[in-house]
Chain A
Amino acid sequence: MAAALSVSPNRMELIKLKQRTALAQKGHDLLKDKMDALVMELFDTLRRIQESRAKAMEQLRKSYSALSNCMAVLGTVETMQAARQTRKEVQIEVSTRNIMGIQVPTVEIGETERNALTRGYSLHLTSSSLDIAAKELERALRLLIGLAELEETAFAIARELERTKRRVNALEYILIPRLKDAMRFIMMRLDEMERENFTRLKRIKAILEERR
């Protein structure tokens, strides 16, 4: 209330306050709409994450079992040796997309699956179990990249949602009530001044009549 009472009670101030309140209300409504839209977007993304994650995890599980199998057949050291020789040049393209003013990443990926000849490890020292493992892992990698994009998107939306919510709350619970308090204070004060004036006039009138 201390802040509200520091305004000087006059009509000019009241008009200004009215304008500010209207503006704050408008901003509040807009932000609230934005929040609703963000929530919808978030739900949508979460649903897609869930599907994508289930797929990626399943593929990853398969990949790990293929890898374990390969390590058992070929030997751990040999597998690591082959991994060291593998050509490591998977590339991704990351660009950003705009969802309601939020930057979210879009990841594009070239071909991840290769055949045994293009992977780069020596063929006569390795067995087909290594090829299988590598193939499964390449598939898993592709799915994981898609998942990473979705997760990052959800994060960005959630962060923006948090910020928006904070602003909505600040307007709704602090700024707008404060402006309304100030307006009420000015109106009361003006009414009071009017009543004072009224009694003053009455009194003057009585005095004048007495003199006559």
Chain B
Amino acid sequence: MGLRIAVVGDRDTVTGFALAGVTYSHIHRAKEETLAKLEEFLASSEIGLILITHRTADDLGPELNQMLQDKKLLPLVLRIPDKTGYAPKADELREIIRRTVGAEIIIKREGE
């Protein structure tokens, strides 16, 4: 089963990934519109990976987190920085680890 990739974000990011061969895309303008589109992407059995820019993810706020919690294993969702390189300091993976392990985990590469 060959699965496709989707990208959600600003115009330039979407253009870029379309150039790289990403099948589905949505340019984020209004919150409701994007949420509806994401819902569609998440429900689709054709899509295996959704790329979403950090900025768009921030814009969507808690509704997005709710959607991601309710989703099945597929599609995978990955947040990526957009053209400005914007990425929030506290990412959600660190957050969940802090909650489970009860401590911040900082892994340093050897020699650092």
Please list the residues of chain A having a beta carbon within 8 angstroms of any beta carbon in chain B.
39, 42-43, 46-47, 49-51, 57, 60-61, 63-64, 67-68, 71, 79-80, 82-84, 86-94, 96, 103, 105, 107, 112, 114, 119, 130, 133-134, 137-138, 140-141, 144-145, 147-149, 151-152, 154-156, 158-159, 161-162, 165
- B107 in contact with A141 (CB, 8 Å): no
A-B contact pairs, 9 of them (CB 8 A): A68-B12, A79-B19, A83-B19, A86-B21, A88-B21, A90-B5, A107-B76, A151-B76, A158-B96
Given contacts A92-B2, A162-B96, A165-B100, contact A105 B20 (CB under 8 A): no
The chain B residue sitting closest to A46, CB to CB, is: B107
* Total chain B interface residues with beta-carbon distance under 8 A: 38
Please list the residues of chain B having a beta carbon within 8 angstroms of any beta carbon in chain A.
1-5, 11-12, 15-23, 48-49, 51, 73-74, 76-78, 80-83, 85, 93, 96-97, 99-101, 105, 107, 109
The distance in angstroms between the C-alpha atoms of A71 and B51, with both chains bound, is 22
Q: Which residues of A contact B85 (CB under 8 A)?
A: 61, 64
The chain B residue sitting closest to A166, CB to CB, is: B100
Q: Which residues of A contact B100 (CB under 8 A)?
A: 158, 161-162, 165
The distance in angstroms between the C-alpha atoms of A151 and B106, with both chains bound, is 16
Task: Tell me how far the C-beta of B25 lies from the nearest C-beta in chain A, rounded to whole angstroms.
Answer: 8
Q: Which residues of A contact B99 (CB under 8 A)?
A: 162
Tell me the interface secondary structure of chain A in the complex. helix
The distance in angstroms between the C-alpha atoms of A88 and B24, with both chains bound, is 8
Given contacts A94-B3, A144-B80, A148-B49, contact A134 B20 (CB under 8 A): yes
